[in-house]
Amino acid sequence: MLPKYKRVLLKLSGEALLGSQKNGDPFDPKIIEQYANEIKQVVDLGVQVAIVIGGGNIYRGMNEADSGIERAHGDYMGMLATVINAMAIQAMLEKIGVYTRLQSAIVMDQIAEPYIRRKALRHLEKGRVVIFGAGTGNPYFTTDTAGSLRAIEMKADVILKGTRVDGVYDSDPEKNPAAVKFETISFQECITKNLKVMDTTAFTLCMENKLPIIVFDMNLPGNLLKVVQGAAIGTLVG
């Protein structure tokens, strides 16, 4: 089946890489391998893929009063964590034969290219998976915002937000068994119903640029491919 989208930005959470780990390690190798194989299936269809990944499995921002670490300093620590995750995904993708480029919003020449928009676009056009690390390079912005920003800059057709739940619900389905899932929902409805699809800055960027978001369960094998082919998987926000 032909893909519905030509260019996508895949937003992954760092916490998802924990998988079933219980020994304190930040990665579950099986999850990274699964994600890499899912991404390869999409790339093999001819879809151009960009990736933004969080760093919550390694470092989550903490309250300054509790940790003694000021917010800006902690945010930079979080950005470095995203680069570690990006390198893990990159290593697994290249192991299975997918060409990649890692670009960082914070200059670190030995391990990543600096983020250059036109260069990233050229990589995508050549069929390389482009992984964006270090968020936006600025404190006070989340990786959700980085994902929205990069998707707009890359002229992506859609943001695919891979999570551990299968869409957007009217309440937390992990806490409320009676939660109702939305198949499609508008940006305005999300705001009216106070649904936390993304943080406010990221969500506003998507709404203002009419960039649709699909929230879906990334951990279910085959879901990413189905979403790219246009199947009614997850929730379409747009």
Assess if residue 195 is contained within a domain. yes
Q: Token pair of 95, please?
A: 């192991």
Amino acid residing at 205: L
Assess if residue 118 is contained within a domain. yes
Domain tally, the chain: 1
Assess if residue 37 is contained within a domain. yes
Assess if residue 2 is contained within a domain. no
pLDDT in tens, 112-156: 999 999 999 999 999 999 999 999 999 999 999 999 999 999 999
Is residue 91 predicted with pLDDT exceeding 90?
A: yes
Assess if residue 1 is contained within a domain. no
Structural domain for 225, as ranges:
7-237
Assess if residue 201 is contained within a domain. yes
Confidence at residue 16, expressed as pLDDT on a 0 to 100 scale: 85
Residues sharing a CB contact under 8 Å with residue 96, sequence separation 6 or more, in sequence order: 36, 37, 40
CA distances from 106 to 92, 133, 169 (A): 22, 8, 35
pLDDT in tens, 96-116: 999 999 999 999 999 999 999
Assess if residue 67 is contained within a domain. yes
pLDDT in tens, 208-224: 999 999 999 999 999 99
pTM for the whole structure? 0.94
Q: CA-to-CA distance for 89 and 53, rounded, in angstroms?
A: 9
Q: What is the mean pLDDT of the chain?
A: 93
Output the domain CATH number for residue 94: 3.40.1160.10
